[in-house]
Amino acid sequence: MKKIYVLILIIFLTPIAVYAWNDCPYSLVNDPFPGQCPRYEDTNQDGVCDHSQSPSGSSSNNSSENRETDRNAANISSSDIQNAKSVPSENYFLVPLSITILIIYLVTYLFYLENRLKRDFFYKIWNYVLIISFLVTGATGLILMIVITQGITSSWNLTIDFWHAEFGIIMVVSTLFHFHLYWKQLKKVVKA
Amino acid sequence: MIYDFIIVSILLLLAYFGSYALYHKNFINKAVHIRLWNILILFTFLVSAGTGFTLLGLVEYGLALPVSQVFLYWHIKLGIAMFWIALFHIHSYWKSSKVRKIPDRLQNKEREGKY
């Protein structure tokens, strides 16, 4: 039985180990310009995102150049590795933000159950939270898509990405509350 | 990867206006029109939000899986679809949410789970 567990663990961990050299969060390999996400970075100007390249891949690409270039390439690739290691892991506050919104929802729901909050007002609050979070998530998502497909690189890309994720979290959690509020209607939709 | 933003948008707009016209000219019930778009928003939400949340979790915990690339593609593709369908959803319910008032008697029953 233990063997099966170990095997499952190996199967699960293998892809992570295989892609360990690559710090692209989406596991992209040799992602060409303009890239698939706002993290696109090309320090060695080879038209491929540094995050999607293996250190050996970037040095082998430069091996056809002369010795001086090789030295530069070696410097670039080693600095790439350093950059890759020093890239801070993105913190999107997934768990704390979700729990905070859940607590706020439960408090307002409690107020509603205790007649301290009118039904219309309670529903309106969460509908507006959903609409606002949807509009911000949608707008930032569209901006990101345009920025990425057009290859526009700016310092704002990661900021937009961050807020897209934050408002996305709020939108998803408040959509689940929306399902709770309109559960009967939702059941009718799902039923044939 | 190509996300076909314009093609997806045009197709969805045409489909919505088509179904709205059918409902307006009494070829289909309002319930059918609403249900169709509710099912579509539910499906696009589940896929787009599910993949988005999975990607977010993976990025936050520093994990990169081979499926992440596929997830990113479908997150964006169905995210575009969900964006339009959510606007149609707001359009469908905008008036009814303003008009619908539930009497206090029924509100109390609803709180108790009887309504």
User: Where in the sequence is the domain holding B54, given as residue range(s)?
Assistant: 5-94
Residues of chain A whose pLDDT is less than 70?
A: 1-23, 25-27, 36-39, 55-89, 192
Residue B115 lies in a domain: no
pLDDT value, residue B1? 63
Q: Is the dihedral of CA B39, B84, A183, A174 positive or negative?
A: positive
Q: Is residue B36 very low, low, confident or very high in pLDDT (cuts 50, 70, 90)?
A: very high
What is d(CA A23, CA A85) in angstroms, rounded to the nearest whole number? 8
Across A46-50, B2-6, B38-42, least confident range: A46-50
pLDDT value, residue A172? 95
Tens-digit pLDDT profile for residues B54-97 = 988 888 877 778 888 889 999 999 999 999 999 999 998 886 65
Domain locations in chain A?
2-21+92-191, 24-91
Residue B109 lies in a domain: no
Interfacial B residues in 32-91 facing A (CB < 8 Å): 35, 38-39, 42, 45, 49, 52-53, 55-60, 62-69, 71-72, 76, 79-80, 83, 86, 90
Residue B99 lies in a domain: no
Contact A189, A66 (CB under 8 A): no
Which residue does chain A place closest to B49, by CA atoms?
Answer: A172
Q: Which of A73, A64, A84, A148 is nearest to B72 (CA)?
A: A148
What is d(CA B47, CA B45) in angstroms, rounded to the nearest whole number? 6
Angle at A143 between CA A138 and CA A149, to 5 degrees: 125
Q: Which of A11, A27, A126, A130 to mutate to test the interface with B (most CBs of B within 10 A)?
A: A27
pLDDT value, residue B96? 66
- The overall average pLDDT reported for chain B is 85
DSSP B23-61: HHTTSS-HHHHHHHHHHHHHHHHHHHHHHHHHHHHHHHT
What is d(CA A171, CA A133) in angstroms, rounded to the nearest whole number? 5
Interfacial A residues in 102-131 facing B (CB < 8 Å): 112-113, 115, 118-120, 127, 131
Q: Is residue B99 very low, low, confident or very high in pLDDT (cuts 50, 70, 90)?
A: very low
Q: How many domains does chain B have?
A: 1
CB contact under 8 A, B86 and A138: yes
Q: Is residue B103 very low, low, confident or very high in pLDDT (cuts 50, 70, 90)?
A: low
pLDDT value, residue A89? 57
Q: What is the pTM of this model?
A: 0.69
User: Does ipTM exceed 0.95?
Assistant: no
